[in-house]
């Protein structure tokens, strides 16, 4: 039985009982315990279950804001590939910024065991990274219920007090002409992160490449790298820039 079939059966059991046990799983699927353990670790890395000492527990999506969870789950495999690439560039001891984008949120599952400090304005990121190795710095200010995040003047002033080695940010559009947002609040706080970060990674799927939306808020040379699944044809627009292109496999 291949991993995809085992994955389906594991998720079916989680939906029925809310938990799985490694020893029982190995017997039920006729596999070695080390294989069952490896499968659960992979599912936990992909955010599909919570890993426990002897098995795993079902993720409860209703514990997080429902609309945000639905958005974060859209195109999840592409977002996860992007976030795996991002996580590989985060080391113990790093101080990083994470914004409130749905792709950036999916980075959480890949960094829970890293001894880092995360500065964020995102409520779902805060929720996801509590009770793990990550230390949190929570930005204060006006809470935006639609975005499940903090924005505004006080939030920007909070960010300005700190410096981070790396920022992992989302955008609504990016082209050779710059970075684009659909609202002034999003633009202001993303610009604040960029200004206070030594190295900025933009996490974006191919749909964001060449998309020049409502508001340009930064020049392309203000960020250092993008991590994307876009093909070479779309990425040719950046050939005359200093931007580092990191493609997912």
Q: Which of 41, 59, 77 is the last residue of a domain?
A: 59
Do residues 80 and 135 share a domain?
yes
Do residues 38 and 70 share a domain?
no
Structural domains counted in the chain: 2
At residue 62 the predicted structure's pLDDT band, cuts being 50, 70 and 90, is: very low
Reading the block at residue 175, the tokens are: 């082209």
At residue 14 the predicted structure's pLDDT band, cuts being 50, 70 and 90, is: confident
The CATH number of the domain holding residue 124 is 3.40.50.10470
The CATH number of the domain holding residue 51 is 1.10.10.10
Q: Is the pLDDT confidence value at 178 over 60?
A: yes
Domain range for residue 32? 3-59
Predicted confidence at residue 72, as pLDDT, reads 60
Predicted confidence at residue 60, as pLDDT, reads 60
Do residues 93 and 7 share a domain?
no
Q: Is the pLDDT confidence value at 161 over 90?
A: yes
Tens digit of pLDDT for each residue in 117-139?
999 999 999 989 998 999 999 99
Do residues 73 and 150 share a domain?
yes
Sequence-distant (6+) residues with CB within 8 A of 209 are 174, 175, 228, 230, 234, 235, 237
Percent above pLDDT 70 for the chain: 94
pTM to 2 decimal places: 0.74
Do residues 45 and 97 share a domain?
no
| Pairing of β 164-169 and β 95-98 | parallel
Q: For the residues 74-97, what does the mean pLDDT come to? A: 93
Tens digit of pLDDT for each residue in 227-244?
999 999 999 999 999 999
Tens digit of pLDDT for each residue in 109-122?
999 999 999 999 99
Do residues 72 and 9 share a domain?
no
The strand pairing partners of 138, in sequence order, are: 120
């Amino acid at each position: 039985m291949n991993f995809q079939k085992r994955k389906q059966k594991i998720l079916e059991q989680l939906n029925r009982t809310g938990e799985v046990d490694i020893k029982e799983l190995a017997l039920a699927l006729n596999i070695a315990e080390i294989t069952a353990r490896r499968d659960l670790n992979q599912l936990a890395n992909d955010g599909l279950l919570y890993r426990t000492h002897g098995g795993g527990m079902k993720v409860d999506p209703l514990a997080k804001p429902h609309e945000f969870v639905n958005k974060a789950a859209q195109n999840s495999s592409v977002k996860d590939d992007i976030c795996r690439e991002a996580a590989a560039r985060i080391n113990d001891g790093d101080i990083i910024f994470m914004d409130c984008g749905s792709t950036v949120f999916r980075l959480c599952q890949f960094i829970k065991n890293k001894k880092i400090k995360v500065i964020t304005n995102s409520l779902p990121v805060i929720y996801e990274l509590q009770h793990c190795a990550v230390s949190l710095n929570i930005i204060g200010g006006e809470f935006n219920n639609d975005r499940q995040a903090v924005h505004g003047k006080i939030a920007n002033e909070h960010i300005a007090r700190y410096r981070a080695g790396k920022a992992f940010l989302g955008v609504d559009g990016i082209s050779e002409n710059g970075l684009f947002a659909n609202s002034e609040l999003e633009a202001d706080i993303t610009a604040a992160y960029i200004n206070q970060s030594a190295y900025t990674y933009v996490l974006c799927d191919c749909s964001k490449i060449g998309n020049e939306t409502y508001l340009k808020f930064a020049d392309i040379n203000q960020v250092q790298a993008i991590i994307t699944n876009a093909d070479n044809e779309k990425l040719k627009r950046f050939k005359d820039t200093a931007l580092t292109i990191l493609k997912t496999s």
